[in-house]
Amino acid sequence: MNSASALQKEYAEPEKPGVCPTNDLGAATLGVCAEPCSLDSDCPNDEKCCSNGCGHQCISPSTYEKPGPCPKNLGIGLCVESCSHDDDCPNNQKCCSNGCGHECMAPYKAQPEKPGVCRIINVEEAMLGVCAEMCSHDGDCPNDQKCCSNGCGHECMAPYKAEPEKPGACPTINFEKAKLGVCAEMCSHDGDCPNDRKCCSNGCGHQCMAPYKEKPGVCPRRVIGVRLCEELCAHDTDCPDDEKCCSTKCGRECTPPFKVKLTD
């Protein structure tokens, strides 16, 4: 067949449906280095003219890709090419990567995300977290557990159940306390703390603290004094009895509240 007739044949006959199978290492090694075909029309029935890794030969096509995506790799499987396309796999299984080679696997069936949110992992827990992907989505976990980060990998965990924020406000952090605060996440929300304590910033991390409760009364008006430019308190709970933590116009100190005198 001369080049003109080959070109005419190529344009005259459409390519057959389907795609050529992927060549794995074994096929590339065993393929015959010959060109018994050049076009799909050179092949009988529905076979296509495909590369065998060295030459071309008539091969049954990979007719279609089976529905569904391949599951996420959770590790490294056998470094063997057990399949090259979905047609090599039985039933609804697909030819999927196992992290090193390919093998037949059941397709991933998407499931709705379970209710709730993953809780925040603190520094201590992150150091102990297993660096492995033991799940890839909530559907891998039993009951109401979710697939959450453990600080290094992912594992099934009970979801964080939001609790109402406890009353009161976190105390104000001054410069000295910010320097002394432990740089660790010892809590992530008020529910991690006992009694009425709240999860508050310590200037570097978070820890459980007694909430700031303002005492009754108002601070007296002050003028700038001498040697009062110190932060002797941060909030009313730092002060004894009914004294309040009041501004000195330069710092803060414990002061008896202003009492209104009633006139006759």
**pLDDT score of 9:** 46
Q: Give the list of residues 6+ apart from residue 123 with CB closer than 8 angstroms, or none.
A: 183, 184, 185, 205
Query: What class is the 111-162 domain?
Result: few secondary structures
Q: Cα separation of 171 and 91, whole Å?
A: 63
DSSP element (H, E) containing 148:
strand 146-149
Query: What class is the 165-212 domain?
Result: few secondary structures
This model's pTM is above 0.75? no
Read off φ and ψ for residue 103, nearest 5 degrees. Answer: -150, 165
* Helix segments in 146-239, DSSP class H: 175-180
Architecture of domain 214-263: Irregular (4.10)
| CATH hierarchy code of domain 75-108 | 4.10.75.10
User: CATH topology of 75-108 equal to that of 214-263?
Assistant: yes
For the stretch 43-86, pLDDT in tens is 998 888 988 878 889 988 765 678 888 877 666 778 888 887 88
For the stretch 168-180, pLDDT in tens is 888 776 555 445 6
More confident residue, 197 or 73: 197
**pLDDT score of 259:** 74
**pLDDT mean over 16-32:** 62
pLDDT band at 226 (very low <50, low <70, confident <90, very high): low
Between the CA of residue 52 and those of 55, 96, 225, 241, 258, what are the distances in Å?
Answer: 6, 21, 93, 91, 95
Q: What tokens does 14 get?
A: 């459409």
- Domain positions in the chain are 34-63, 75-108, 111-162, 165-212, 214-263
pLDDT band at 194 (very low <50, low <70, confident <90, very high): confident
For the stretch 92-118, pLDDT in tens is 888 888 878 888 988 877 677 888 878
- DSSP character for 161? -
Q: Is the pLDDT reported for residue 33 higher than 60?
A: yes
Of these ranges, 1-10, 21-30, 113-122, the one predicted with the greatest mean pLDDT is 113-122
